[in-house]
Structure 1
Amino acid sequence: MSRSGFRVGGHRVKLWPESLAGQLIALLLVALVGSQLLAGLLFFGERRDALLAVQRDHTLARTASVVRLLAATPPDQAQRVLEASSSRLLRFRLSQGPVPEAGRRQGRIERRLAADLAGYLEGTGAGAPRIGLTRLNGHGHYARFGLTLAVPLGPESEAPWLAASTVAPLRPAGWAWPAVAALMVSAATISLVVVLMVRRVTRPLRRLADAAEAFGRGEPGAPLEVEGPVEARRTVAAFNEMRARIRRFVDDRLRLLAAVSHDLRTPITALRLRAELIEETETREKMLETLEELQRMVEATLSFAREESTREPTRRVDLAALVEALVADFAELGRPVSYRGPESLTAELRPDALRRALRNLVDNALTYGETAEVTLVRTEEGTEIHVDDSGPGIPPEQRERVFEPFQRLESSRSRETGGVGLGLAIARSVVRGHGGDLTLHTAPGGGLRATLSLPKTAA
């Protein structure tokens, strides 16, 4: 079990919602139910005490009335008076002495009854009344205690005592269903208001998240509409400005790179013409070879700048078919390349750019590793394409260097067989433009593994 939930039968059960609306509704409902329960407990407690006080006052008043009535009633009619005065909650009877339960003195209640019978007690010479508490068991949520009163009807040595006791507990107030209904209506109303308000607040934030995700994949997009609360409007406006600045910065650098590469063509052509006029064969050949390499670098740089400045639209394609078709193209040329993976796997990407990046990886694997094995797999994070070769590999401390433009490792990248050092740089640029990454590892069977990772947003 984790902080956010637990698993039941392979399914994850969340204990706390992840969305802003869900969290606000949960917090408000917890606060609402907690406050209502606390208020209900206080209300029911006060109501119970009030009803018990009413019962106590009623018992004292009835007892005082019965005492006065017995004083004016002939002795042979006393039993009939007691039966007529008794009820379901209060019973009266005559006793020759104070009942055992009334032996405990209750000062305030006793003084109240004595005050009600002050004239009678002084006139008859009777002793003070006695009052006690009786525990009433087996009644569940009913009142736990009842009153027991004993009042002398004359001098203690001559007259009997009147015993009064509550024989049934007072039933406290139950659940007030109107209050429960009001609580449910309040909870539903609050939930509805919170959902509407949160949707209004989070709508621009959701659009901002989608736009940021698309911008991270290199997709063009119009500026977002500035709406919602002031905090959301400021955030969206700042994002629009940031995206515009980044685009201007990248476009300026690409135009500068393309302009420099284009302008270098003229002096390179002039140098080639002059080299042709040199009579010494060995020197002329070396100069022409160097100029040819420089020409390839300029053309590759210009091609890279041109491709980066032209943004291909993102569309949904079958990634498995794209990879398999690329592998088939190499196989038709007699190259030792194979494919493993699903027959179909749809993804949203820029197919031409990704095909170019993957072609560079496969070509590198065949050039420097002799064979290429391409594997397409679906992962929890997205999709991965592995290109394994059987070559000598690259030391771990030098693997990041090969992604730098015009970098070639002399121990494994020959000038005669290698390119100008832009293939991996272009491939990583394309993959990162999709929101993924390109990394190098040691292949399971030896050699080098190039892993092209695409996130779920692009796969």
Structure 2
Amino acid sequence: MKRLWPRSLTGRLVIIMVIGMLAAQFLTGTIWFDMRYGKAMEVPTRLVASELAMRIRLLQAAPPDQRSAILQSLNEPRFSMREIAQPTERLPALETHHAAITQMFDHVLEQQVGQPLQTRFLKAELQTDQGGKNDFLSLFRDNFPSGHFVLQVELPDRRWLQIDAQEGQAGLSMAPMTALYDYLMRIYVLRIVAIVLIALVVVRLVMQPLKKLANAAERLGENIHSPPLDVTGPVEVRQAAQAFNMMQRKLIDSIAERTRFLAAVSHDLRSPITRMKLRTEMLGDEAAREKFRKDLDEMEAMVTSTLHFVRNIDSDEQLRSVDIDTLLDSLRLDAEEIGAHVVVVGSAAPIPGYARSLRRCLQNLLENAIRYGEQARIDVIDNAENLRIVISDRGPGIPPDMLEQVMEPFMRVEGSRNPKTGGFGLGLSIARTVAQAHHGALTLRNREGGGLDAILDLPRRSHG
């Protein structure tokens, strides 16, 4: 059942509207039943009323002493009359759709006789072709249903007659299959089609502001400085847009405050670090001096790396076309200047991106490969939909259960990486953040025979 339930809110609203319409149509189906029932009863009602009027006129025209004999002679299997002393006091309750039938009967009888007559109906029902009581399905099934009438009528001379009559459709077929087709097509199928079309248009119009909000949230995840939402539309939409813009403003202010705080801490730390470095040089013990130098350099590098990480997240860089081949060649030359060996295989067409952030991402991945493997290989696989850059090394690799964890901020794997050359655990975090800002992904996998592949996938699609 869950497989049939649409995943989109638009589909769900359309399904709910159609089911609601069908439920309402089913509940109001009695209206159509009454109309179909009345149509099937119209011909028998008119025929019985006309036949009764004719016989009443014959009785009225006959001499009083011959009326009983004539009454008997007029009886037949499908139409019988008998004289009664008085009418039935308590009449059975007829269904509501019988009211129109009895009114039609009295109207025809009055027109044929020339004066209104009092009638009391004991039965007026539709019967099947086989003589059984008609039901909902038989209206679709029987070609020639008949009407069965039991009634009492007061003659102009104040005598009462009871009539038991049964009459068919006079050879006119009710065409049940045509009625069924008409009922299903016009009332259900066409209505469902109309409701679906209306629902698709209306729901899409209603859902459009929600889609804009979702797109804005996606842009916000990529760039905190993306343009705010337009505060237009219905009251609820304007309130949602205002709340979203306020949230974006608070996020920007929060990140800016954090950056300012770290910048202030960094500035304040640099002065005592510098003083400690000067005092370190004044130490007489060379071994102690070297230890102090190492600790102070590490402190300074940690502060600098943290600031780089925060500023990278808060980047408001503009999107532009980035020449991947030139960028990778520049990184290769920089690496060779420090004695590393880097090989670039393949080429790529320019791709829309954030140039400074993308360079930082690739530089971090390449530095990791050189740090842990002393040499690196960059494979570029480009196609119309995706650009893949694989940076490989022959280092010690990463335990499989930690391939995801190492991309968290300040996460280091000293057991599998060289502890003497390890960074502060921010390089991969920055690289993954940049990949996500480009709608891409960064994944790590161990290579057969040792080493690590850092795979950067960047889709070639709009970053709007």
TM-score range, shorter chain: 0.5 to 0.7
SS at match of 2:341: coil
The answer to whether the 8 A contact 1:204-1:236 is kept is no
Aligned match of 2:174 in 157, 162, 171?
171
Per-residue CA deviations over 1:174-210 (Å, capped at 9, x if unaligned) read 6679x959996997599558735752x4343223212
Aligned match of 1:277 in 273, 282, 292?
282
Please give the alpha-carbon distance, in whole angstroms, between the structure 2 residues aligned to 1:395 and 1:373. 21
The answer to whether the 8 A contact 1:135-1:146 is kept is no
Matches within 5 A, 1:251-262: 251-262=256-267
How far 1:44 sits from its partner (Å)? 4.8
Matches within 5 A, 1:329-368: 329=333, 335-339=341-345, 343-344=348-349, 346=351, 348-368=352-372
Please give the alpha-carbon distance, in whole angstroms, between the structure 2 residues aligned to 1:262 and 1:438. 33
Per-residue CA deviations over 1:7-56 (Å, capped at 9, x if unaligned) read xxxxxxxx958353x554554455446655775x6455433433443332
The yes-or-no answer on 1:143 pairing with 2:143 is yes
**TM-score (ref. length: structure 2):** 0.62
SS at match of 1:278: coil
Between 1:308-317 and 1:401-410, the stretch displaced more is 401-410
CA distance change for structure 1 residues 135 and 186 in 2, over 3 Å: closer, same or farther?
closer
CA distance change for structure 1 residues 245 and 434 in 2, over 3 Å: closer, same or farther?
farther
SS at match of 1:441: strand
The residue that corresponds to 2:48 in the other structure is: 60
The answer to whether the 8 A contact 1:405-1:421 is kept is yes
Per-residue CA deviations over 1:117-161 (Å, capped at 9, x if unaligned) read xxxxxxxxxxxxxxx98659xxx9663345899xxxxxxxxxxxx
How far 1:368 sits from its partner (Å)? 0.7
How far 1:215 sits from its partner (Å)? 1.3
The answer to whether the 8 A contact 2:446-2:452 is kept is yes
The residue that corresponds to 1:288 in the other structure is: 293
SS at match of 2:3: coil
The answer to whether the 8 A contact 1:216-1:434 is kept is no
CA distance change for structure 1 residues 211 and 184 in 2, over 3 Å: closer, same or farther?
same
How far 1:285 sits from its partner (Å)? 3.6
The yes-or-no answer on 1:395 pairing with 2:399 is yes
The residue that corresponds to 2:317 in the other structure is: 312
The yes-or-no answer on 1:214 pairing with 2:219 is yes
Aligned match of 2:8 in 18, 25, 31?
18
The answer to whether the 8 A contact 2:18-2:192 is kept is no
Please give the alpha-carbon distance, in whole angstroms, between the structure 1 residues aligned to 2:198 and 2:167. 57
Per-residue CA deviations over 1:89-141 (Å, capped at 9, x if unaligned) read xxxxx9xx97xxx5xxxxxx756x4469xxxxxxxxxxxxxxx98659xxx96
Please give the alpha-carbon distance, in whole angstroms, between the structure 2 residues aligned to 1:229 and 1:302. 43
CA distance change for structure 1 residues 250 and 180 in 2, over 3 Å: closer, same or farther?
same
SS at match of 1:388: strand
Q: Which amino acid aligns with 1:390?
A: R
The residue that corresponds to 2:271 in the other structure is: 266
Q: Which runs of 5+ in 2 are unaligned?
A: 63-72, 85-126, 132-139, 150-165
Aligned match of 1:49 in 28, 31, 37?
37
The answer to whether the 8 A contact 1:385-1:453 is kept is yes
The answer to whether the 8 A contact 1:141-1:171 is kept is no
Please give the alpha-carbon distance, in whole angstroms, between the structure 1 residues aligned to 2:365 and 2:444. 11
Equivalent residue pairs, number: 380
Q: Which amino acid aligns with 1:244?
A: R
Between 1:237-246 and 1:305-314, the stretch displaced more is 305-314
Between 1:57-66 and 1:181-190, the stretch displaced more is 181-190
Q: Which amino acid aligns with 1:57?
A: T
Please give the alpha-carbon distance, in whole angstroms, between the structure 2 residues aligned to 1:411 and 1:57. 98
How far 1:264 sits from its partner (Å)? 2.3
Please give the alpha-carbon distance, in whole angstroms, between the structure 1 residues aligned to 2:442 and 2:372. 18
CA distance change for structure 1 residues 321 and 33 in 2, over 3 Å: closer, same or farther?
farther
Q: Which amino acid aligns with 2:223?
A: G
Q: Which runs of 5+ in 1 are unaligned?
A: 5-14, 74-93, 103-108, 117-131, 150-162
The answer to whether the 8 A contact 1:17-1:23 is kept is yes
Please give the alpha-carbon distance, in whole angstroms, between the structure 2 residues aligned to 1:44 and 1:244. 60
**TM-score (ref. length: structure 1):** 0.62
The residue that corresponds to 2:376 in the other structure is: 372
CA distance change for structure 1 residues 133 and 217 in 2, over 3 Å: closer, same or farther?
closer
Please give the alpha-carbon distance, in whole angstroms, between the structure 1 residues aligned to 2:83 and 2:452. 105
The answer to whether the 8 A contact 1:392-1:447 is kept is yes
CA distance change for structure 1 residues 445 and 373 in 2, over 3 Å: closer, same or farther?
farther
Q: Which amino acid aligns with 2:397?
A: G
Please give the alpha-carbon distance, in whole angstroms, between the structure 2 residues aligned to 1:237 and 1:317. 35
CA distance change for structure 1 residues 364 and 66 in 2, over 3 Å: closer, same or farther?
same
Please give the alpha-carbon distance, in whole angstroms, between the structure 2 residues aligned to 1:35 and 1:180. 15
SS at match of 1:264: helix
Please give the alpha-carbon distance, in whole angstroms, between the structure 1 residues aligned to 2:168 and 2:38. 19
Between 1:360-369 and 1:258-267, the stretch displaced more is 258-267
Per-residue CA deviations over 1:280-320 (Å, capped at 9, x if unaligned) read 444434433443343433444444455555421234556x6
Aligned match of 1:426 in 403, 419, 430?
430
The answer to whether the 8 A contact 2:378-2:389 is kept is yes
Please give the alpha-carbon distance, in whole angstroms, between the structure 2 residues aligned to 1:244 and 1:432. 21
Q: Which amino acid aligns with 1:313?
A: Q
SS at match of 1:171: coil
Please give the alpha-carbon distance, in whole angstroms, between the structure 2 residues aligned to 1:409 and 1:148. 98
The answer to whether the 8 A contact 2:224-2:248 is kept is no
Please give the alpha-carbon distance, in whole angstroms, between the structure 2 residues aligned to 1:16 and 1:336. 51
How far 1:267 sits from its partner (Å)? 2.3
Please give the alpha-carbon distance, in whole angstroms, between the structure 2 residues aligned to 1:133 and 1:266. 106
Report the RMSD for the aligned CA atoms in angstroms: 5.1
How far 1:392 sits from its partner (Å)? 1.3
Q: Which amino acid aligns with 1:49?
A: Y
CA distance change for structure 1 residues 31 and 436 in 2, over 3 Å: closer, same or farther?
same
Q: Which amino acid aligns with 1:224?
A: L
Please give the alpha-carbon distance, in whole angstroms, between the structure 2 residues aligned to 1:254 and 1:421. 19
Identity, in percent, stands at: 31
The residue that corresponds to 1:89 in the other structure is: none
Q: Which amino acid aligns with 2:434?
A: V
The residue that corresponds to 1:11 in the other structure is: none
Please give the alpha-carbon distance, in whole angstroms, between the structure 1 residues aligned to 2:32 and 2:252. 67
Please give the alpha-carbon distance, in whole angstroms, between the structure 1 residues aligned to 2:380 and 2:12. 39
